[in-house]
Structure 1
Amino acid sequence: MAGRHIVMATVGSQGDLFPFLAVGRELVARGHRVTVAAHAIHREAVAAAGLAFLLASGIAEPEDKAAFAARAFHPLRGPRFVVRDLAAADVAASYAALAPVCAEADAIVTTTLAFAGQIIGETGRLAWLSAVLSPAVFLSAWDPPATGYARLDTFLRGSPRRGGWLGRLARTVTAPWTRPVRDFRVSLGLPPVSPWGDPFHQGQHARDGVLAMYSPLLGEPPPDAPARTRITGQCRYAPGGDRLAPELAAFLDAGDAPIVYTLGSAAVHAGASFLRESIEASVALRRRAVLLTGSPEMRARLPAALLEGVLVQEYAPHGALFARAAAVVHHGGVGTTQEALRAGRPQLVAPHGFDQPDNAARVERLGVGRVLRASRYRADRAAALLREVLGDDAVTRRAADAARVIQREDGARIAADTIEAAMRER
């Protein structure tokens, strides 16, 4: 059924974008046309993947990225800022960009915060699928997302009744955040919410199928997931073909495997002290280190002269670098988490917000790493936990077992199969 046009509407960081690029490339290889609708910051990445780009956001790129990240990852006010003040407030501009393109498309795939795409999927004649990029999005009573507070998480996982309490609380607290979306729906002559519910929760899950685009190592779809949910496995996209820069490759060749520290693409500006504490942790462990700053601004916050055995890079392909690491310290973004699993390396996760505490808890339950909340991330604590996982043969063995599982997954193929099936049904 080659020759169809699929629109992928995504709102978020590179971690939200990359799975779509993997699936988009698979669809293009099958003869389809794919348009990725996203914020302007993703234009170059989409073009590099060989896919068409559509600017579907009226949100300007922040001038002060550190201040923006501090707001976005504030433990209490951050989620409201991202959902209400960014994604929901952008719904009209996004709809105006998406609607003409989708009028001629055969399918649309949307993410959690792609509110305009959800409206188009609900009301249009095209096939509509949604993507869930981490287990926490389901807000399941049977598999409640971890909050990062051990006693509360143990209580919630005690029974579906307890787990359901967290979901009800979250839906109540966040309902006002999507008021701009409800108002916009009314302006289109639609009910304030879809038949499925609030757009940030049940309403995000599509009529024609839900793609759980992550490894089943992180969790199978729970019993209360939407009926047409299909877990795909990791939808892996490796920009640059997993090639390491010459300087980094030479550093790796010159000594023992280093500890790799990274805050991914979204949280990188949220932890100003993370890189400095990480250097001290590696010194305490007498281990070499690779620090990924994520941006020139973060590199500028480090001393100009670094200790021997410490290499700083703005970015490196996670798959290729993690495979040569002794351990990986990261923020718990679902993409980074899966790359660390794929590399088969012990992990220390320092979650900052959103789904990251839940991803971190899943790493710990798999027995392949430990968790240290970002607010408690200090060199001595990080060093102690790293010493623990690096010296535990059982952790090493379980990490290697997980790698063999995830390396066999082909999420992009399964997702493309599901999208094609949905288009045939329409």
Structure 2
Amino acid sequence: MKIPTTTSRNPLARYLLAATPIAGHVLPMLGIGADLQRRGHDVCLLTGEQYSDRVRRAGMRLAMLPRDAHVPPSASAPPSRLAPTVRRYMRGRAELDSVFIAPLAAQFDALQGVLRREPVDAVLVDLAFTGALACLLGAHPRPPILVCGVGPLTLSSAQTPPFGMGWPPQPSVDYTNMTRFVHRVMFARTQTRLNRVLREVGAARSPVFLTDWPRLADKMLQLTVPGFEYPRADLPENVSFVGHMFPNSTDEHSVAPWSAQLGTARTIIHVTQGTFDNTNLDQLIGATLRALADRKDCFVVATTGGGPIHTLRCPVPTNVFVTDYLPYEQLLPSVDVMITNGGYGGVQHALRFGIPVIVAGETADKAEVAARVAYTGTGINLGTAHPTPADIDTAVDQILSNPGYRIAAHRLSRDFAAATPLDAIANALADVTAHPIPLADTE
């Protein structure tokens, strides 16, 4: 039996998008799905029920993930005396399990449920939606599967340190043996857990380490420009850099009452803890408010990403405005420096406007984002998720006194402006539907 697949670019296609219910993963997929829908395709988005209104407003159909396919919120880790590498190893091992492995079976069941109910020409999933890995390694026919890189490129390379260490690469260093040791020794139990779950859902063992799973997909569409990634001569052929998906300002929240102060302050600082690691607002926002409270030449706009503002343990200075969300399209053109815990989307949004960044983050992929910021010269990596006010104050002075950071950020902003991610993604999907993968007959 062979699965039916559209074989022409002209007829409208039926696409299934699947997104792990984390804001930084869902929002780009919402933008992609809405664009495909506007192009006349039939789009279904498989994700958490909490995004149902936004899915329907975009004109897409919703397929809901069950609760056991969700990822638990990231808890802010307390300060630790452990060395940063050890700390990242312990945190990374736990997050690989909770984000990539624990939801896999439920994701796979939900994905297969949609594929059984309706014809699908191609599937596009976010990087953490490893239920698609079970489809890739399963015995059943499948449509083409594409992966959307909503975080830094996780694929291993001889020219980069193993993903998760948060180290920028050194020239002329071969990281092959280090990567092999990390995958086969340090994270051997992680791979064993992955293969156990794959076996339980009837899929084959993974021939690659967990973070390399997008190599097995038909295409990987990385949501950035090459200039914000490490150069790799051994980049797999299925990887394409398409640029970043920036949200449309019409989809964001209403304008907050901070605009009047933007024209009076000499320096505008924006601080955010994003939407994933924001349970302890004092970790970065509080430290920033303490650092900049006496700098009357600065106006600080802080966003909590939905975290409760009342949990801030420090008073809000007069030169600070705090809110949960705000429209970046209106704020960022006026910002001089962004201070962030390293969300992939937020950092790229700043760089899109040529804004240098200060990064203080270690959970999820944030240490890797921070390392790329330092590598590209577009900002400062504080190397901790718990900076002191003095750390932040010093970093702000460094950014403002050294024009090199802004020059590097402006260089990347031109790359982002030249990218056309929606066209690139639509063309990639059209290509795999026009040239479907060969599928073996099954009984």
Out of 195, 201, 208, the residue aligned to residue 182 of structure 1 is: 195
> 1:129 maps to what in 2?
146
1:290 maps to amino acid? V
| Cα drift, residue 62 of structure 1 | 8.7
Unaligned ranges ≥5, structure 2: 1-9, 81-86, 437-443
2:97 maps to amino acid? R
1:24 maps to amino acid? G
> 1:89 maps to what in 2?
102
The 1:363–1:40 alpha-carbon spacing in structure 2 relative to 1, beyond 3 Å, is same
Check whether the contact 2:44–2:63 (CA below 8 A) recurs between aligned residues: yes
Residue 117 (1) aligns with residue 132 (2)? yes
> 1:33 maps to what in 2?
42
- The superposition leaves residues 84-128 of structure 1 with CA deviations (integer Å, 9 ceiling, x where unpaired) of 245422223222222121232111122333121222245433111
Residue 273 (1) aligns with residue 290 (2)? no
| Separation of aligned partners in 1, 2:178 and 2:40 | 44
The 1:140–1:134 alpha-carbon spacing in structure 2 relative to 1, beyond 3 Å, is farther
1:132 maps to amino acid? G
Check whether the contact 1:213–1:233 (CA below 8 A) recurs between aligned residues: yes
Q: Greater share of helix residues, 1 or 2?
A: 1
| Cα drift, residue 204 of structure 1 | 3.2
Q: Per the alignment, in what secondary structure is the counterpart of residue 374 of structure 1? A: coil
Check whether the contact 2:70–2:103 (CA below 8 A) recurs between aligned residues: no
The 1:242–1:85 alpha-carbon spacing in structure 2 relative to 1, beyond 3 Å, is closer
Check whether the contact 1:330–1:349 (CA below 8 A) recurs between aligned residues: yes
2:399 maps to amino acid? V
| Separation of aligned partners in 1, 2:261 and 2:404 | 29
| Separation of aligned partners in 2, 1:22 and 1:13 | 15
> 1:22 maps to what in 2?
31
| Cα drift, residue 215 of structure 1 | 1.8
| Separation of aligned partners in 1, 2:107 and 2:356 | 41
| Cα drift, residue 414 of structure 1 | 0.5
Moved more, 260-269 or 30-39: 30-39
Identity of aligned residues (%): 19
Q: Per the alignment, in what secondary structure is the counterpart of residue 138 of structure 1? A: coil
Moved more, 231-240 or 377-386: 231-240
Q: Per the alignment, in what secondary structure is the counterpart of residue 293 of structure 2? A: helix
Check whether the contact 1:213–1:415 (CA below 8 A) recurs between aligned residues: no
| Separation of aligned partners in 1, 2:26 and 2:383 | 25
| Separation of aligned partners in 1, 2:280 and 2:115 | 35
Out of 362, 365, 378, the residue aligned to residue 352 of structure 1 is: 362
2:182 maps to amino acid? A
Number of residues paired by the alignment?
Answer: 414
| Separation of aligned partners in 2, 1:280 and 1:11 | 35
- The superposition leaves residues 366-414 of structure 1 with CA deviations (integer Å, 9 ceiling, x where unpaired) of 2221111234511111111111111223333332332233122111210
Out of 209, 223, 226, the residue aligned to residue 216 of structure 1 is: 226
| Cα drift, residue 12 of structure 1 | 5.5
| Separation of aligned partners in 1, 2:21 and 2:426 | 21
The 1:300–1:278 alpha-carbon spacing in structure 2 relative to 1, beyond 3 Å, is same
Residue 283 (1) aligns with residue 300 (2)? no
| Separation of aligned partners in 1, 2:71 and 2:98 | 13
| Cα drift, residue 27 of structure 1 | 1.5
| Separation of aligned partners in 1, 2:113 and 2:199 | 20
| Separation of aligned partners in 1, 2:283 and 2:378 | 25
Residue 43 (1) aligns with residue 52 (2)? yes
Check whether the contact 2:215–2:238 (CA below 8 A) recurs between aligned residues: no
Unaligned ranges ≥5, structure 1: none
Residue 142 (1) aligns with residue 159 (2)? yes
Q: Per the alignment, in what secondary structure is the counterpart of residue 94 of structure 1? A: helix
| Separation of aligned partners in 1, 2:194 and 2:312 | 42
Check whether the contact 1:58–1:90 (CA below 8 A) recurs between aligned residues: no
| Separation of aligned partners in 2, 1:289 and 1:90 | 38
| Separation of aligned partners in 1, 2:70 and 2:127 | 20
Check whether the contact 2:43–2:60 (CA below 8 A) recurs between aligned residues: yes
TM-score, scaled relative to structure 2: 0.83
| Separation of aligned partners in 1, 2:69 and 2:77 | 17
2:143 maps to amino acid? L
2:177 maps to amino acid? W
2:150 maps to amino acid? L
Residue 165 (1) aligns with residue 177 (2)? yes
1:185 maps to amino acid? L
2:342 maps to amino acid? G
The 1:304–1:224 alpha-carbon spacing in structure 2 relative to 1, beyond 3 Å, is closer
| Separation of aligned partners in 2, 1:25 and 1:223 | 34
| Separation of aligned partners in 2, 1:137 and 1:12 | 20
| Separation of aligned partners in 2, 1:29 and 1:166 | 46
Residue 323 (1) aligns with residue 333 (2)? yes
| Separation of aligned partners in 2, 1:43 and 1:37 | 10
| Separation of aligned partners in 1, 2:182 and 2:250 | 39
2:435 maps to amino acid? E
Check whether the contact 2:242–2:420 (CA below 8 A) recurs between aligned residues: yes
Check whether the contact 2:18–2:125 (CA below 8 A) recurs between aligned residues: yes
2:47 maps to amino acid? A
Residue 394 (1) aligns with residue 411 (2)? no
| Separation of aligned partners in 2, 1:61 and 1:126 | 24
| Separation of aligned partners in 2, 1:61 and 1:125 | 23
Check whether the contact 1:36–1:46 (CA below 8 A) recurs between aligned residues: yes
| Cα drift, residue 220 of structure 1 | 6.3
